[in-house]
Amino acid sequence: MAGGGRNGTSNNNRAVEARYQPKHPFLSGGIAGGLEICLTFPFEYVKVQLQLQEKGKGTPQFKGPLHCATQTLRHSGILGLYVGLPPWLTFALPRSAIRFTTFERVSEWLQEGQGKLDAVNALAAGTVAGAIESATCLTPLQNIQIKMMQMDRGFVYALGEILRREGLRNGFFSGLWPTVVKGAVNNCIRFGLYNETAAALRRSCGDSPDEALAAGAVFGIGAAAGAVSAVVTHPIDTVKSNLQGLSAGKYSGSLDCARKIIASSGVSGLFRGLSPRICRVCLEIGLQFSLYDSICRCL
């Protein structure tokens, strides 16, 4: 993974690292993803609620992240913050498993069996992993989640209604391209930053490239990489959420959606829900990298 560091003894100081090779990336990634989403989903719920609000149509229902969370707790209790969780749990194992397995396999192919992975190849492997994860799992997952939240219905009922109203393509794969672009950029940043920062930390401590980092260090590096990716890709995420909602028909595409959000709310409209997303992504990526690393080594 993600777990390796650079070879600090290299005479020409190339950005190349010998890497710890996980033996069970599919299983480890799936377990890590399922544990993580149960802890972080309330932030996802709040983020989406804020992204779907529109200015210019009366008083907004929610004034901000804290107001959204407190209002939801007041009216629906703690379970209200978990509306839309079932699709995340359903896709948790395949989503994380595909992401980490693809990264490892593409990394192995790019490093051509030499046990080394340079920074450019780490970025490329992360990009491919994010694109495949988004196209196969994240797009249908988030379509179901967002529509469930708007319908305020259960998982099975929502699936039937989505199919009946919108069909397979529009119901489950709306917003495909912004989701794929967001996923590719996210994982390019996350895997690239994680690998480079972990390598630098090992060099500074004089550790071998495959030495396990402390869980706290892995969490911190992952959280920092997640925060950077969240800020960079949030406008794409906002467009994606609106294209996957029940009112997506008023947009002719991604650019039209972005233009209309800016026209009604200004550029700041593209950043609605950023603070809860940063909180969730920091926890998500920190937990996923630390859990993945620990589970891989245990297995």
Amino acid at 198: A
Amino acid at 293: D
Quick one: tokens of 8? 């600090």
pLDDT at 202: 86
Chain segment 61-77, per-residue pLDDT in tens: 899 999 999 999 999 99
pLDDT at 16: 42
Chain segment 181-240, per-residue pLDDT in tens: 999 999 999 999 998 998 889 888 877 767 778 889 999 999 999 999 999 999 999 999
Question: HSE of 69 in the Cβ direction (CA atoms, 13 Å)?
Answer: 12
Dihedral over Cα of 168, 170, 175, 181: its sign? positive
**CATH architecture for residues 22-298:** Alpha/alpha barrel (1.50)
User: In this structure, are residues 262 and 242 in contact, taking their beta carbons and an 8 Å threshold?
Assistant: no
- For residue 114, name the pLDDT band (cuts at 50, 70, 90): low
User: In this structure, are residues 151 and 161 in contact, taking their beta carbons and an 8 Å threshold?
Assistant: yes
User: In this structure, are residues 179 and 139 in contact, taking their beta carbons and an 8 Å threshold?
Assistant: yes
Q: What residues form DSSP beta bridges with 5?
A: 18
Q: Give percent of the chain above pLDDT 70.
A: 87
* Range from 46-50, 54-58, 106-110, 215-219 that averages highest in pLDDT: 46-50
Average pLDDT (42-64) is 85
The total of other beta-carbon atoms located within 10 Å of residue 169's CB is: 9
pLDDT at 9: 42
Q: Residue 295: pLDDT above 90?
A: no
- For residue 12, name the pLDDT band (cuts at 50, 70, 90): very low
Average pLDDT (11-29) is 57
Closest CA to 139 of 174, 181, 165: 174
Q: How far apart are CA 272 and CA 241, in angstroms?
A: 11
For the chain, the structural domain boundaries read 22-298
Lowest mean pLDDT among 16-30, 255-269, 285-299: 16-30
Closest CA to 92 of 48, 40, 47: 40
Lowest mean pLDDT among 58-62, 139-143, 162-166: 58-62
pLDDT at 53: 86
Q: Taking the model in full, what pTM does it have?
A: 0.82
Quick one: tokens of 241? 């959420």
Cα angle 245, 168, 256; round to 5: 40
CA distances 95 to 27, 101, 237, 247, 266, Å, are 11, 10, 17, 26, 34
